[in-house]
Each structure stands twice: as C-alpha cells, then as structure tokens.
Amino acid sequence: MAFVNTEKLRMAAAVLLGLMIIFLCQVAHADAWIELTGPAQISYTAPATYQLQLKSGVTSTGPKAEYLEDIQLTRNGQVISRLPNGTYTENGLSAGTYQYVYKAFGVRNFNGNESYRQLISPTITVTVAAPPTPFDGAEYVSASWPNSADRGTPFSGTVTFRNTGNTTWRAGEGYRLGQAERYVSGATKLGIAEVAVPHDVAPGGTATFAFSGVAASENGPTTLQWQMNRNGARFDSTSSEQIFETTGRLNRGVMYEQEVPTSMETGRTYRVKLKFTNTGNTTWSASAGYALGSWNPNDNVRWGRARVPMPNDVSPQLPAFFEFDVVAPSLPGVYSFQWRLLEEGKEWFGRESDNVQVTVNGPPSKVIGNIDGVTSDGQIRGWACSTGIDSSIDIHAYTGGAAGSGGTIFLTGKADLASEPAVATSCKAGGNHRFSLPMSNEQRRQRAGQPIYVHGISPVGQPNDTLDGSGAFVVPAAPTGTVSATPAMCQIASGAQTCNVTLAWSATDSRAELWRDGGVLVGSGASGSLAAPIGAGTSRFTLTVDGDVIASALTTARRAPIAPVDPENPAPTVSRRYVYDDNLRLCKSIEPEVGATVIEYDAAGNIAWSAQGLDLSDSSRCDRDVAFSSTRRVAYAHDARNRIVQTTYPDGLGNLQVQYTADGKLKSETAVNQNGVTVITGLSYNSLGLVVGHSRIVGTASPRTSTFAYNGLGQQVLTRYPDGYEVQQTLNALGQPLKLQDGQGTVLASEVSYAPSGKVSSMTYGNGVTRRVQENARQLVSEVLDVEVVNLNYSYDSARNIVTIHDGLRGDAGTVSLGYDRLDRLVRANSPSFGGNGHYVFAYDTLDNIISMRLPGKRERTYHYDAWNRLQLLRDHDGNGVFAIGYDAAGNMTTRNGQVFEFDVGGRLRAGGLVSKYLYDGGGNRAAAEGELYRTWNYLADGKLIESTTGPDVSDYIYLGSSLLSIRTSTPNAVKMVYQHYDARSTLAATSDTSGKVLSRHIWSPYGEPDIAPDASTPGYAGHLTDPDTGLVYMGQRYYDPAIGLFLSADPVTAHSDPAGMFHRYRYANNNPYKFIDPDGRQAVPVRPLVFYQITTRTTTDSGAVNVARTNVSNYGIVHGAQTEVRGTVTLLPQKSLGGTPANPGPAVTTRLLNFSDKTQQNIEVTSGQRTVEQNQAVGGATRSQHLQDNAADIRISGSTPKQTADAAHSSGEFNRVNQYTDGRGVHVDLKQGGTQGRFTDWKPQE
C-alpha cells in the first residue's frame, strides 16, 4: 500500500510540474510583433510612386498575451499611417531622401498589472531623385519617294523618324515634320507642306509621315532635308540631303535682239525683226505648232497677224530669227508692241520680248470711191478706199436713199478685189480696192427700181462718205422665165424603162439653167428646147437663175403593167392568224412560213415558254398542252424584277444563264453551244454606270478583255483592245471625236468636223487621205469624196430614193442610175459595172416577193414559191431550174442548190458549207466558227465588232464614233493597218494602206454581190462581214444570201408586232437596198429617219420647276424600236427675280436651248429668262439686258463647270453671244444681233 501511494504522489507531482512548465512557456512566448517591408527598389525619380507592406500580430493567444497599441508608420519622423496590416502607397513624391519606420507598443496585462514594450522596425531608406530636364530628340530612319517626275506631275512618299528624346510627340502639341531651315524653299517649290505627327510617339518609338507634292514648273534638281520641329522650333538631327529631279519637256526661250520702228502710220505695212534663243530642251518646229504670238494684251491681232510661224527647226541653245511684216493699227494712238513664244494649243512660254511703245499717226485719210455700174446679172461694181491706207475697207449698200436720209441697208461687203494703177493713184496707196456686190434675185424682186447708194466705212474714224455715182443707178428687175413639158403624161412602152417629153424654156437672164429632180442639169441659156427621157412616176423640171427657181413644170410617166410570173396566181395572198387566251393575250400565231407558234405566260405576265414550227392549224384554240410536250418548246425563267435569268432549249443549243449587278445592269451571260462549249460574256462598270470592261471567253480559251476609259463628263476617251493595243480620242465640247491616235502616238484620224446632222462632214485619215461628206437640204448625203480613193455623188427623188450615183473616179463605167415603182421598190438599176448589158430589172408580186431578177447577158432568173410562201425554185430565161431550196419546220433554209445548212431550235445557223460548227454568245452574236481555219468574233454590247481572229491572225476594229475607220491586223510576222472607205450606205467602197495607196476598190450589185470580194475580216456590203465558207452575209441575227436577195430564215420581228413592215418574212431592205439597210438582221431601217412631225411638251414637277421636252414623231420607230425620239430637254428652274416661279425664256431662245440640248445630249437647266424692268433692276441686270427683250437665258448643265458649259454653248453655234461669269452666276446666252458677238468671260472677248 505505502509503495502504491508513494507512486501516486510521484505521478501527481510530475503532472503538476508539467502543467506549470506549459503555463510558464505560454506566458513567456505570447509576444506581439510588427514588420515593415520596403518597395521593390530604394531609388526613384520624382514624381515617385511606390508601396510599403505593413504587417503586425501576436505569436499566440491567451489572457496574458501582449497586444499592440499606438501603431505608427512614420516618414522622416512624421506619422503617415496607422494601419496594422496592409499596403501603403506613396504617390507623387518630390525629390528627397525618405526614412520609414514602423513602430508600436506591446502591452501585457498580467494579474492586473500592465507592462509596455516598444516595438520598432528597421529603418527603410528610399531616395527620390529629381526628374531629368525634358528634351526633344529625333533621328532620321528612312524615306520612300520617287527621285524624279515630269513637270507638273503629282507624286507622294513617306519619311520615317525615331523619337530619341524623353518627350512624347503629339500632334496637338505641335510636333510636325518639315524641312531644315535652308531647304524650306525647296519644299515650297515642290508644293510639299509640313506634316503633323500621325499618332502619339513615345520615346524610342517611330513615326512614318506621308506627304505629297507636285514636280516643279522648271526642270532641274531640288534639294530637300527633312527635320522635326515643335511649333516651328526645329530640333535634333536631319535627314541626309535628298535630291528630287524635275524632268520632262521644257519650253523656254529668251529674246536677245529686236528691230521695231517706234513710229508708224495707220494702216501701213512695216518690216520687223526679233531674235530669240532656245533655252529649253525641246526643238521648236512649225509642224509641231511652235510659233511667235502677238502679246500684250495676250494673243491679239493688233498688228495684222496673231502668229508668225517658226522659220525653221530650232534645237536647244540655238537662235531663232523672225523677220515679218506687220500692219499698223487703223486708229492713231500709242500701242504696245510685244511678242512671245508659244506651242499652239498647249502653252505660251519664255519671257516676252521687250515692250516697245509705238506711236501710230493717222494721215488725213478720207473715204473716196465710185460706183462704176450695175450689171445685168445684179452686180454692183466700183472701187472704194481710205486715202493713204493700203488695207481694204468695208462698204455698205443702201437703197431708197443714203444712210440717215431714208435709205435702208441691203448689202455689205469689202473692197478687196484687185485694182488698177489709176485707183492706186486716186487712193494714194497700194493694195486692193475694187468691189463687186452681188444682189440676190429676191433682193432684186423686193427693191427693183430703187436708187443705190454705197458708203465706204472709214477705218480711222472719219466720216463714212457715200461714193461717187451713188443715186445714179437703180436695182435691176429680177429675172423671170417659163418652162413647159409636153405631154403632161407619157406612157412607158412594155419592156422599156422611160418615155420622152419635150422641154421648152425661156428666161430674161442668160445664166438660166434647167434642172430635173435629183440635181441633174438638163439645159442652160436664155432659151432652149429638147427631148428628155423620164422614168416611171412624176418628174419635176425647174428653171433657175443663180440657184433661184423662177419657173417649174411637172410631167408624169406611167409604167407598163408587169405580167406576173404565175398566170394562174397573178395576185397571191397569205393569211396570218392569231389566237388569244381568256386574258386576251396572244397565245398562238399561225403563219405559212414558220408554222404555228404557241406562247405561255407566268403569273407576272412574262413569257414562260414558247414553241415554234408546230403543225397546229386550229385557230379556235391555243393548243398549249400539245405544244408543251413538243420537242420545240423553249423555256424562260425570270427573277423577281421580271428579267430573264435563264433560257432553256430542248436541243440544249443556246441555253443561257444571265446575271445582273446590284443596280440592275447586265453582269454576265453564259451561252451553251455544241459539245457543251460555253461562250461567257462579262461586263464591268464604273461609278457612273459606264462599261469599263468587256470580257469574252470561248470554251477553255483565255479571256479576251477590252477596257474603256472616260473623261469627267462620262464620254469615252480610250479603248484598250484584248491584245493590248490602245486608241485614244480627243473630243469637242459636244463629245464628238476630233482626233484618234494610238498608244504610241500614231495619228489614225484628225481634223474631224461635223455636219448639223451630227455626221462627219470632213476628216483626214491617218494615212493622209482627206474625206469630205456633203449633205443636201434634207440632210441626205449628196457627196462622198475620199481624195483619189472614192468620189461618189448622189441625187434623190421626192421620196428620198437614190436615183443616181455618179462615180467621179470611174466615170460612166461606175455610175449607177436607179428606178422605183409606186411602192418605192427597186425595179431598175443600170450601170456598166454590173456586167451583162448593165441593166438590172426586178419585179415583185403583191406579197413583195421578188418574182424576177434579170440582167441580160449575165443572169436572168424567175422566182417560184411554194404553198407556204417560201422561195422554192429559181429558173433561167429558158425555164430550166437552176436553184432549188428546202426548209425545216420553222422556215429555216436547210438546203440551197445542194448545200446543206443546219439550224438549231432557236433559229441559229449551226453548220453550213465548210463550217462544221458555229458558236454564239448570249446576245445571239456569232462568236466562233470551226472549219478549215478556226475563227472568232468578239462583239460589244452595242453590237460593234471589236476583234476577230483567223487562225493566228488577230484583227482590231477601230471606230470613229460609230463608223469603222480602220482594221489593224497582227500576224506572227507583221502588223498592218488598213483604212476603210465607205459609201453613203456604209458599204465598203475601197481600202488603203498607211501610205494612202489604194489596196482595193469594190462595186456591189444592187442586192449585195461584189465584183471583188473583200478580205473575210473586212466588213463589206452594208457594213457586214461575208462568210467565205458559204458566200452568205452575216447580219447578226440572220444570214443573208446576196445571190437571191433574201434571208435564210424568217424575220424574228413578226408581222403581229409590225403588220405593214414585217408582213414579208424573208425580204431584205424592204426591196429597196439603196434606201434601207438591216443593221442586225432583224429589221430594215432607212439610212436616215424621216421625221413626220415634232411636238414640245411642258411638265411641272413637284419642286415647281418645268420640264420642257421636244420630241420627233417619225419612222424612228422603224429604226430604233420606238415611235418617238426625244430631241432636246430643258428644265426651267424657279427664277429668283420672278419670286420663285419658273424661268420663262422667249420662244426663240427656248428653241435654241432645245437645239443645244439635242446636240450635247444633255439636259439644260435655265435659272433666268424673261424679266421686266423692275425685275431686272432687282437682280442688278444691265440696263439694256437682252433678258428685257425675251432674247436671253442664264443656264447651267448639271455635272459641268461654267467654263465647260460656256464652251459647249459656243461650240454648238446656237447662240450669238455666250458669256461665262466667274462670280458663280453661271453662263449667259442670247441671240443679240449686231455688235460684238462670240465667246466672252465676264464680258471680255475670248479668242
């Protein structure tokens, strides 16, 4: 027991001891603590920002543990924080040394007694240095820009600099790239401005500056040196010196000597000398337009001439000697004599000659002269001058009295005919002083018996005295005469072409001439009598004197009846029947030539499908169910805008896919041909909607792409062909070509001028051959003259039919005379050039079928037709069959005298003759042919052939406007240019080479057979290509056989759409091939449309303006598919002086504005027209403004500058005065008669 208790006591003591040890340990280690951790670095730059980490705590817990009081973080002894834990951030400290101490008191409470212990962290020292002084620094890195350009050429480039300073470059703080100080003038010379920094650039970063400039006006080097600046203060380094060279043609010259008299007499001639040195780099030559021009004021004719041509070619650094005559001004005074060099049409250049002040003295000059007499033919003859003045003077003739004494002026002229020594003695001067004033017959009729007075017009401001003899002579009576034709009607005998009438005439004037219709001279003299043959119809004979008709007579010739070919059917008839569905839409047509055509529509009224060539003769039903299942049904798919997007043929030939641009223009067409070969046509447009690209791909061949460029008015100025050849055209103010040249500068056509009809009236081919085309009063071609190449003169009857074509080169051998029946069908064509006896005779039945074509001695054929009104057989004059023809169900000619033709369901010729395959594009144009040679044709959207190939040869077709000018053919060995010469019907008459040598001449039979066939790539008859493999003429939508004068397939324009014109489905040119042509094989059109009448309409718009439109109602519909043709539009805008009501120009001005619009094809906007005196004053108009006379308008053209508008108005020839204001008022036009007229700018004349 004692042992056990002792052990228990030991154990209890041990436990107690352990507990005391634990307690004492606990009391000893329950201490508080603090900790300060400094920033990542101990030195910073002001303004400084950094952080300190604060931590505190107690090692353990318990009733005797310490706790913290008065926690402080001090900076240099100052308390800045009392945080026990966390992050303390210093912001923006300035320069200095900062010591941080973290301290607190540890407090312990033991048995009611408190004890304190201070805790202090180690000191952390941070040094903040003062910030460095800011500075701008820059270092040049690189530059990229051209080192040269021609004068006036824009250029651009970039320059890169690095920021080597300690500041950030900002545009708002004025950081810019410019030039080192000494090179600022160089930048100014090149138009280079300072460039602001494009973005913020921190130190070490780079900036790339983009700049632009224009090459200087003078050749030579310009030095630049780039340097940064801030608000104009340049800093740090520069780039190296960089040289920009201005190059190109430089016209410069300086005068170094002149001989000019300083005193002259009015009107006299003086010799002057001027000498210049060529200080530029161009050679001056007269052929290039270099000349000496009268200066001060710019470009005048003060000294009797505006230009002195370059005497010889003047190379750089060589002198030019000018010695020439000048005529002193006609009025006394002191004048500036000064001249300057120029390159005509481009620039005046060099320093003008020294200004010489010339005193011009006026002699005591007076007007003298005499009326010598009046001739029987109405010529007033005499002489007039201003004494002592060599130059000729103007003269004015009055009747009934002198000027100011009751007389009225009726003639003006100039006394500039050669005069004899006696006149020179009287005038005390040399020169020409005689005159001869012709009086027209109308003037003689109106003023017969009235005395004549002639005034000389003084050139020096002296009195305009009457000439001696004034009042002594009277106006003679106008000539009179008579003409008769007997009998009034004659009968043409059977087999003859004419009958004779007797013509008799007499006149009071020996200059009388007797003419017949068409401009044929029959006789001349004061009287006469002769027999004249006349053709069928009415002929008019007119007696004229000096072009004035004084008498006329009519006579008529009746043609003998023509016996029909088939006596059993003298007047054949044809029935065409049309069937309509319940919605009154055409659903079926039944025609003998092509069978039945059935049509179905979709819900929008578009044609959904059609089938042609069906044997469905029931005119009481549509038969759509039968037609739908036939093998001739063609399906059409349309998009939501009712445009065809797909065409599907049952034989797959011609299947078409069409795509459009977002704004509705044609984008591409894909047409499928034999063996699945596609022809793809693609179009691209510019922002104005104009075609800039045309691409053609045949099968797997490479694209053949043509491109086009336009000027600011949307007028085409450049054509680039698929082979890269370029043609550029220079236009006039109306957008008409004046000059064509290729990309190498070779001129193809120049000096082009136009007739009022808009057709070319004259031009010069690139080979030097000049062309002149004259029109008569009806705007019908009366002459085509290509000097030494083509010389044709045309005359017409009253129905605009050509009756004579006179060949001025071949003479009678090439001259053609023509005759017509009462339906204007060609029945007679005579010319030795046709062969045989030279007399073609044609006959027709009531259906316009040709029933005979006879040229005795060469060819005589009669035409025979089957029951379906299709030509079946031709017989010779003995009745033997010589030409048999067969057709398919759709009326296409499939056999012709043993030759086989294959047509697809769409009516396109697919094979024939030596051609195994014809391929077509989406527009139906022939694209390729596979035969002995592979050939292609590339047609544009407007139908122009732009390129063709024959094997390896490529031909480019060059046009002047819409007319073919020349063909450029590239072969593997050479390139040749052949110029085309066409007659009035656009039929090839001749070709010539680049030297002007004639390569070929061509004569064509009336219906188009050539004497010599042109090359296969050359358009011939009526401007169309002839296929050498078949002898057929390709006219676009159909093929034409000139041997028989008929098409191979029926006309796609049906009799239903044009009952009168298209009733005959195969005929060519309405059986009048000299008056009509067929541009695309669909419809005969006249060479010139005949206007029936003209209307002008006015429509008020929502804005209050009035649109005025002038429209021709004519057979233009036959030509262009519309019954009307707009020929001018004008918009009358609200007029300020009228209180906002539309401008109201007078009727004469409105007519001229419509003419101007018609010529420019642009709408003319009128801002001001008629004004009252009050309205005119309100807008500051001139007191004698033409606006007060209803004789003026202020105009503008949308999209054109005032200068462009004024130039176009002046060029149109419609206005007597055109003035361009420069203060924004636009352009003034008026019809003022007399006074100063022409083109003005701010009412200052513009030459």
* CATH (domain of 1138): 3.30.1380.10
Structure tokens at 108: 């312990």
In a domain, 298, yes or no: yes
Helix, strand, coil distribution of the chain in percent, nearest 5: 10, 50, 45
Higher pLDDT pick, 1064 / 28: 1064
- According to DSSP, residue 76 is labeled T
757 and 903 share one domain: yes
Element (H, E) at 222: strand 220-224
Q: What is the CATH number of the domain that holds 502?
A: 2.60.40.2840
Beta bridge partners of 527: 506
100 in a structural domain: yes
> With 80 as the cut, is the pLDDT of residue 9 above it?
no
Given a cut of 70, whether residue 363 has pLDDT beyond it is: no
Is pLDDT above 50 for 596? yes
Kindly state whether residue 882 falls inside one of the protein's structural domains. no
pLDDT exceeds cutoff 80 at 1197 = yes
Count CB atoms within 10 A of the CB of residue 816.
24
Q: Is residue 462 part of a domain?
A: no
Structure confidence at residue 242 as a pLDDT band (50, 70, 90): very high
pLDDT single digits (tens) 467-480: 999 999 999 998 99
Beta carbons of 527 and 507 less than 8 angstroms apart:
yes
Confidence of residue 441 (pLDDT cuts 50, 70, 90): confident
3-state secondary structure of 182: helix
Assess whether pLDDT exceeds 50 at residue 677. yes
Rounded Cα distance between 518 and 536, Å, is 15
pLDDT, mean of residues 405-416: 92
Q: Are residues 1065 and 966 in the same domain?
A: yes
- pLDDT of 892 over the 70 cut: yes
Asked, for residue 1137, whether it belongs to a domain, the answer is yes
Across residues 325-343, what is the average pLDDT?
90
The pLDDT tens digits for 1111-1169 are 776 544 444 444 456 778 999 998 877 777 899 898 889 999 998 998 888 899 999 99
Taking the CA atoms of residue 1007, residue 1012, residue 1016 and residue 1021 in that order, the dihedral angle to the nearest 10 degrees is -30
Give pLDDT tens digits for 272-297.
999 999 999 999 999 999 999 999 88
CATH value at residue 35: 2.60.40.10
> Residue 28: pLDDT band by 50, 70, 90 thresholds?
very low
Q: Quick one: which of 378, 366, 362 has its CA closest to 467?
A: 366
Rounded Cα distance, 516 and 510, in Å: 19
1164 & 1095 share domain: yes
Using one digit for the tens of pLDDT, what is the confidence trace for 847-870?
889 999 999 989 899 999 888 889
Please report which confidence band the pLDDT of residue 1049 belongs to, taking 50, 70 and 90 as the band edges: confident
By the 8 A CB rule, do 386 and 373 touch? Answer: no
Q: Token digits for 591?
A: 């025609």
My answer on whether 553 and 671 are in the same domain is no
Percentage of the residues of the chain whose pLDDT score is greater than 90 = 59
Strands 1192-1196 and 1164-1168: antiparallel
Sheet of 367-374, strand order: 367-374, 379-386, 434-438
**Residue 1209, domain member (yes or no):** yes
1081 with 1031, same domain: the answer is yes
Nearest 10 degrees: Cα torsion 797, 1040, 759, 735 = 160
Confidence of residue 25 (pLDDT cuts 50, 70, 90): very low
Can you tell me the distance from the alpha carbon of 64 to that of 110, in angstroms, rounded to the nearest whole number?
A: 6
Domain count, the chain: 9
> Which residues make Cβ contacts (< 8 Å) with residue 752, sequence separation at least 6?
736, 737, 738, 739, 760, 762, 763, 960
Answer yes or no: do 1164 and 1128 share one domain. Answer: yes
> For the stretch 132-159, what's the b/e string if a residue is b when 16 or more beta carbons lie within 10 angstroms of its beta carbon?
eeeebebebeebebeeebebeeebebeb
Q: Which of 334, 361, 388 is the last residue of a domain?
A: 361
Q: Which domain-ending residue is among 1056, 1086, 1116?
A: 1086
Helix H or strand E segment including 214: strand 206-214
- The pLDDT assigned to 1113 comes to 62
What band does 1074 get if pLDDT is binned at 50, 70 and 90?
very high
pTM of the model: 0.50
CA 790/CA 987 separation, integer angstroms: 12
1062 pLDDT more than 70: no
Q: Is residue 181 part of a domain?
A: yes
Residue 73 has pLDDT above 90, yes or no: yes
Given a contact cutoff of 8 angstroms between Cβ atoms, the answer to whether 1070 and 1027 are in contact is: no
Same domain, 801 and 722: yes
Task: With cut-offs at 50, 70 and 90, classify the pLDDT of residue 1233.
Answer: confident
Distance CA 392, CA 420 (A): 14
Helices (H) and strands (E) in the chain, counts: 9, 96
Greater model confidence, 1096 or 1156:
1156
Domain boundary among 247, 273, 295: 247
Q: Is the pLDDT of residue 563 over 70?
A: no
What pLDDT, in 10s, does the model give residues 44-63? 988 999 999 999 988 777 76
Residue 561 half-sphere exposure toward CB, CA atoms < 13 A? 4
Q: Is the pLDDT of residue 153 over 70?
A: yes
Amino acid at 773: V
Confidence of residue 16 (pLDDT cuts 50, 70, 90): low
> Average per-residue pLDDT in the chain?
88
Q: What does the pLDDT average to over 896-905?
A: 89
In a shared domain, residues 1054 and 1145: no
pLDDT at 10: 62
Whether residues 764 and 908 share a domain: the answer is yes
What number is the average pLDDT over the span 24-28? 44
Mean pLDDT of the 373-388 span: 92
**Together in a domain, 628 and 600:** yes
Q: Place 573 in a pLDDT band, splitting at 50, 70 and 90.
A: confident
Are 1000 and 1007 spatial neighbours (Cβ–Cβ below 8 Å)?
no
In CATH, what number is assigned to the domain containing residue 937? Answer: 2.180.10.10
Residues 336 and 410 in one domain: no
When pLDDT is cut at 50, 70 and 90, the band that residue 846 belongs to is confident
Question: Of 941, 965, 967, nearest to 954 (Cα)?
Answer: 967
Q: At what angle do helices 1202-1212 and 1147-1160 cross, to 10 degrees?
A: 100
Across residues 1000-1018, what is the average pLDDT? 92
Q: What is the pLDDT of residue 1114?
A: 54
Q: Which domain holds residue 964?
A: 660-834+888-1086
Tokens standing for 245? 């060279």
Answer yes or no: do 315 and 353 share one domain: yes
Answer whether the bond into residue 297 is a cis peptide, omega within 30°: yes
Whether 461 maps to a domain, the answer reads no
Of the pLDDT bands very low, low, confident and very high (cuts 50, 70, 90), residue 714 is confident
- Rounded distance between C-alpha atoms, residue 54 and residue 1023, angstroms: 103
Mean pLDDT of 183-187: 92
Q: Is the pLDDT of residue 523 over 50?
A: yes
Distance in angstroms (rounded) separating the CA atoms of residues 1119 and 1082: 11
d(CA 875, CA 842): 15
Q: What is the pLDDT of residue 568?
A: 46
